[in-house]
Structure 1
Amino acid sequence: MAVVNRTPDSFHDAGATFALDAAVARAVQAADLGARWVDVGGVPFGRGPAVSTSAEIDRVVPLISAIAARRPDVVISVDTHSAAVAREAVAAGASVVNDTSGLADPQMAAVVAETGVHIVITHSVGPPRQEKPAAHFTDVVAEVRRFLLGRIHRAQAAGIPRERIIIDPGHDLDKNTLHSLEITRRLGEIASLGLPLLVAVSHKDFIGESIDRPRGERLAGTLAAMTACIWQGARIVRMHDVQAAVDAARMTEAMLGMRPPVRVIHNTHPTRNV
Structure 2
Amino acid sequence: MLKIPSKTSSVSIESAATLSVENVSWSSAKSERMILSPISFSLEPGRILGVTGPNGAGKSTLLRLLYRYHMPNTGSVKINGVDIWSIPAREAARTVAAVLQEQPTDFALTVHEIVSLGRIPHRKGFSAAHGAHDTNIVLNTLDRLELSHFANRQFGTLSGGERQRVMVARALAQEPKLMVLDEPTNHLDIRHQLEVLELIRDLPLTIVTSLHDLNMATSVCDDVLILKDGRSLGFGTPETVFSEETISNAFRVTAKRDRLVSSNAKHLSFNL
* More helix as a share of residues: 1
Q: Judging by fraction of residues, say which structure has more strand.
A: 2
TM-score by length of 2: 0.36
Which fold has the larger relative contact order, with Cα–Cα distance below 8 Å and residues 6 or more apart in sequence? 2
Which TM-score applies when normalising by structure 1? 0.36
